[in-house]
Amino acid sequence: MSALAQTRNPTGSTLLDLVLRFRALGLLLALAVLVGATASVNARFLSGQSVRDLLFAAAVTVLLTCGMTIVVLTRGIDLSVGSTLGLAAYLTADAMSGGLPVPLAVLIGLLVGLGCGAVNGVVVHFGKVPPLVATLGTLYVFRGIVYFTAGGSRVNASDLPGGFLDFGNGTLLGVPYLFLIAVAVLAAVAVYLRDYRSGRDLYALGSNPEAARLAGIPAGKRLMGAYALCGLLAGLGGVLYAARFGTVDASAGYGMELDIVAAVVVGGVAIFGGSGTVLGAGLGALLLTVIDNALPVLSIPPFWQQAIVGALILAAVGLDRLVALRAALALRKKGSHVE
């Protein structure tokens, strides 16, 4: 029996864990090489202020990537996260400029995000609309609401409480508060996906939805929860966006959804669901942020910046496909040996 168990391990979860670990190590290596190459050209790239700016830029992206990872694990996608962030950011800032206390304004931003996520979940689950189509539609709906609410105006930093703005630009031992919040959320999501049944159910739902339902997993409840949590984190991202930039208009978060999807895919979360880690997605977000900031220093034209990101996405999808094919082949071989 022990020999049989040893035979099964290399073709089961151990092999998958090994691949995922090497994916994370590959991302760390790519980060180290990129930072080293950029610092050799411009030593100020590793200055304290430059590193803080990088962490500020990565904070909201990492946060939204956590929510997107939860949805993608279920074979879904949420293209409305940028619009949700923009709506939450504007309504939060507008409420504060109108004299509402900061805690209540922050609560408004979180509830707006949660509501947008719940709408996506309802459309996908009860409406049986493909996630790509459903969230593409809500992307425009939520953005339209922002433009209608803003009416061409914007909220200026001078209209917001000083303490709120100080928090958005403050640091603890040189690390921005916003980045610390993003890391805390990432750690919480990682624990949830690893240690809680509802989190593990998301992997089962993404791997084989029909088998998950037959096993008694409440697919609809899990799907609704995934989209609601993604929206909630986008709402939190909107609050942090308002705290960081102060000046908020209807274009807040415009186009951010593509960066978030790219970070998730580059980080090793399978676009067809069922595999990946939020840690890898967070590293993917950090890598793309460093690319955006490093390539201009290396005098690489914007076109090539986009081409590099596109190549990373294709490479990540290709690697996921290769891993899936090898795992299927290994399982077939194991089945033939058992027979």
pLDDT in tens, 289-327: 888 888 787 777 777 777 877 777 777 667 666 665 665
pLDDT given for residue 43 in this prediction: 77
Distances (CA, A) of 88 to 1, 84, 117: 56, 6, 12
Q: Give the span between the Cα atoms of 207 and 219, in whole angstroms.
A: 12
Between 1.10.3470, 2.40.50, 3.30.420, 2.40.230, what CATH number should domain 15-338 receive? 1.10.3470
Total count of residues recorded for the chain: 339
- Entry pTM: 0.84
Q: Give the span between the Cα atoms of 314 and 279, in whole angstroms.
A: 20
Average pLDDT, the chain: 83
Q: For the segment 142-154, what is each residue's pLDDT rounded down to a tens digit?
A: 999 999 988 878 8
Model confidence at 180, in pLDDT bands (50, 70, 90)? Answer: very high
